[in-house]
């Protein structure tokens, strides 16, 4: 069971607030291109594809690859801007053995109940030498993410997520090895005021899992800061690359 169910309200909030602009995605495009080295006919799994931002981005960036989107939440699948989307999850992929050349796993790894089982399933479907690109906020690595500056109570939720070492250890049991690890910056919003105005608690797992008083205190901090701070909001998430 994932940490949250992603019902219709969650999916709507995610769709409304978690999609990045082209500017926000530019550094990710560079990093993905460098690690994936896309080629014509490449089949890329977007695992936990949500409302379709990454599948759409990949097909726009690399017009000769095929993106296979898999998402367990019916509400997310219904709202996805990319179609078709297959019903499945990291522990049960509706794909043939060795049928995928690479996998993209974005802000999903903390929802996977059994990482060892997921690693075996990905080893089954990803062809030998294929790469896994895991984009995530990992336990202990909150400092480059502005959300935690205003909602420090949510750090305790993040620290229940898998660490980098935990993910590496789980995937090593299936024969994967780490070939890259870096922080990738993204322009999350044009301003902190935009963040404060558009924030939807349902779109962020760490905010859903703190209590109402903690959320209210964090929202007050965010709104206060938004009145005085200017300029774009730049965050950085981690990219772990395995093969």
Q: Is residue 1 predicted with pLDDT exceeding 90?
A: no
Q: How high is the mean pLDDT of the chain?
A: 95
Class of 8-141+160-187+235-242 per CATH?
Answer: alpha beta
User: Whole-angstrom Cα distance, residue 181 to residue 168?
Assistant: 11
Cα dihedral angle (178, 182, 188, 191), rounded to 10 degrees?
160
For residues 25, 30, 31 and 35, what is the CA-based torsion angle, rounded to 10 degrees? Answer: 140
Query: Which residue, 20, 228, 238, is CA-closest to 144?
Result: 238
Are 46 and 230 within 8 A, CB to CB? no
Beta strands 100-106 and 85-86 are unpaired
Name the 3-class secondary structure at 194: helix
Could you tell me the pTM of the whole model?
0.95
How do residues 84-113 score in pLDDT, each as one tens digit?
A: 999 999 999 999 999 999 999 999 999 999
Model confidence at 194: pLDDT above 60: yes
Query: Could you give the CA distance from residue 235 to residue 243 in angstroms, rounded to a whole number?
Result: 26
Both tokens of 202, joined, read 């349902």
Report percent pLDDT > 70 for the chain.
98
Residue-level length of the chain: 243
Q: What is the pLDDT of residue 154?
A: 98
């Amino acid at each position: 069971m994932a940490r949250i169910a992603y019902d219709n309200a969650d999916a709507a909030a995610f769709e409304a607030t978690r999609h990045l602009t082209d500017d926000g995605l530019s550094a990710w495009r560079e990093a993905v291109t460098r690690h994936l080295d896309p080629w014509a006919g490449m089949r890329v799994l977007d695992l936990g594809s949500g409302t379709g931002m990454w599948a759409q981005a990949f097909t726009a960036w690399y017009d000769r690859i095929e993106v296979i989107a898999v998402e367990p939440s019916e509400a997310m699948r219904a709202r996805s801007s990319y179609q078709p989307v297959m019903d499945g999850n990291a522990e049960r992929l509706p794909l043939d053995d060795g049928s995928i050349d690479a996998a993209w796993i974005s802000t999903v790894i903390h929802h996977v109940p059994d990482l060892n089982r997921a690693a075996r399933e990905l080893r089954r479907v990803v062809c030998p030498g294929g790469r896994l690109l895991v984009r995530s906020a990992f336990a202990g690595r909150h400092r480059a993410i502005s959300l935690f500056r205003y909602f420090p109570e949510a750090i305790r939720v993040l620290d229940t997520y898998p660490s980098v070492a935990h993910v590496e250890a789980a995937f090593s049991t299936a024969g994967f090895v780490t070939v890259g690890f870096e922080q990738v910056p993204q322009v999350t919003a044009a301003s902190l005021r935009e963040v404060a105005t558009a924030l939807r608690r349902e779109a962020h797992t760490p905010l859903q899992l703190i209590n109402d008083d903690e959320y209210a205190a964090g929202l007050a901090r965010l709104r206060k800061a938004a009145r005085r701070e200017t300029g774009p909001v730049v965050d950085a998430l981690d990219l772990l690359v395995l093969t």
